[in-house]
Amino acid sequence: MKTWQRSLVAACALLALFGGVAYAQAPGASPVEFPYMGNRTAVWVVAQLHILFAGFILGAPIFVVISEWLGYRKQDPRYDRLAKEVTKVTVILYSMTALTGGLFIFVLLATYPQFTTWLINHFYLLFAVIYPLLFISETILLYLYFYTWDSWKGEKKARHIALGVLLNLIGTITLFVIDGPTSFMNTPVKAEGISPQEFLATASLWDKIFNYSWMPLNLHRLVGNVTFGGFVAGLIAAYMFMGAKKDEERAYYDWMGFVGNLIGVGALLFLPFMGYLLAYELCDYDASICPYMMADQLSMFFEMQGAMIGLIFLASNYYIWLSMKRIEGVEKVRMTILAPVVMVLLPLVMTKVLTDYPVPDPTSLAFLLPICQLRDL
């Protein structure tokens, strides 16, 4: 996709956003029923598709700038090449992010017009002014960052790294801004002594954004974006490794896959703490949310999420275990495949045993005390 084509897609996404805001002001918009899957599933699919692209383009530039800085500091061209190749993919996927974002607005307006109108009216300044300005600024900075890569070398490299830092700053602010309406839908503002409707009628835009789950959601998504970006970088390296013709290219993409996996696993270690903080704030806002999420209708999603996280750690550790074969002399400390298999199966066996044969209540073993005393006599 050429530069003018990417710019055209971004412009269409902006028009879709402004058109959505204008459509939301039109009275009498009637909802529609999405065919085959229903409205809720349709909104979920389109929103998830948009978040997958958005998570990468917001997370990838963070470790791209860090990688470029490491290459500049260590004078290692591999880091600079890694940063440039990931940025190239980011530029391509940026257009898809804008396109899926416009699609999400249209689907949401068509399926839930009254709710979308109400939400946009309450966050009109954010949707119509702040977010478009941030989106345009991020677009300009991203293309400048990519197309000045070769020209800003040597003495100008520090200037290029500073441009990347500014790009990440604008991207992070954009994430925080759009998390305002998102967190508001989960934990609307409330105040003691008056009803939520009365407080909402007089609340400012900042009151609506700064709700219970806003900052925990910001932290959770920020760390999650870096995690997702690292693993996608590893995916890119694996794809390029399979198509490489020379040993030097294979060695580079193998190293790139190692770096992507390292970033993904390193950020993933912090993600459960951010998730716990978000869940804590949700439960502190309304205690009935916790059992509904984790023991009622939404419990299946938590079980699936736990299984997926386990598979991510398993695959990452297996990749590291395979990579250790290339290190000379590692045979003395490298464990066999039997040890990781036992470590994976042990929690499953313990869960099965403790589920079928739970630990008895200590008070139920009180009848053994007289027997022990008689034995002592």
Q: How many CA atoms lie less than 13 Å away from 263 in the CB half-sphere? A: 27
Cα-based distances in Å from 204 to 51, 88, 129, 221, 254: 28, 40, 16, 25, 52
Cα-based distances in Å from 145 to 7, 93, 290: 15, 15, 43
CA dist., res. 142 & res. 114, Å (int): 35
Residue 171 confidence (pLDDT) above 80: yes
| 28 or 146, greater pLDDT | 146
CA dist., res. 144 & res. 160, Å (int): 9
Q: How many CA atoms lie less than 13 Å away from 301 in the CB half-sphere? A: 6
| 153 or 296, greater pLDDT | 153
Residue 148 near residue 160, CB atoms below 8 Å: yes
Cα-based distances in Å from 2 to 8, 9, 95, 101, 116: 10, 11, 11, 20, 34
Which of 23, 55, 8, 99 has the alpha carbon at shortest distance from 221?
A: 55
Q: Band of the pLDDT at 328, cuts 50, 70, 90?
A: confident
pLDDT of residue 372: 64
Mean pLDDT (the chain, rounded)? 84
Q: Which of the listed ranges 101-105, 187-191, 331-335 does the model predict with the highest average pLDDT?
A: 101-105
pLDDT of residue 374: 58
Helix intervals (H) in 287-332: 289-294, 299-323
In this structure, what are the phi and psi dihedrals at residue 195, rounded to the nearest 5 degrees? Answer: -75, 155
Q: What percent of the chain has pLDDT over 90?
A: 47
Residue 136 confidence (pLDDT) above 90: yes
CA dist., res. 203 & res. 200, Å (int): 5
Which of 286, 65, 61 has the alpha carbon at shortest distance from 186?
A: 286
Residue 376 confidence (pLDDT) above 60: no
Cα of 149 vs its chain's centroid, Å: 27
Q: Band of the pLDDT at 24, cuts 50, 70, 90?
A: very low
Taking the C-alpha atoms of 178, 180, 185 and 191 in order, what is their torsion angle to the nearest 10 degrees?
-170
CB atoms within 10 A of CB 317: 15
**Which of the residue ranges 11-15, 129-133, 285-289, 294-298 would you say has the lowest mean pLDDT?**
11-15
pLDDT of residue 339: 74
pLDDT of residue 80: 94
> What is the DSSP-derived secondary structure letter of residue 246?
S
Residue 229 near residue 63, CB atoms below 8 Å: yes
Mean pLDDT score, 162-166: 96
pLDDT of residue 4: 47
| The one-letter amino acid at 188 | P
Residue 310 confidence (pLDDT) above 70: yes
Burial class (CB in 10 A: 0-12, 13-18, 19+), 295: exposed
pLDDT of residue 3: 53
Residue 262 confidence (pLDDT) above 90: no
Residue 121 near residue 24, CB atoms below 8 Å: yes
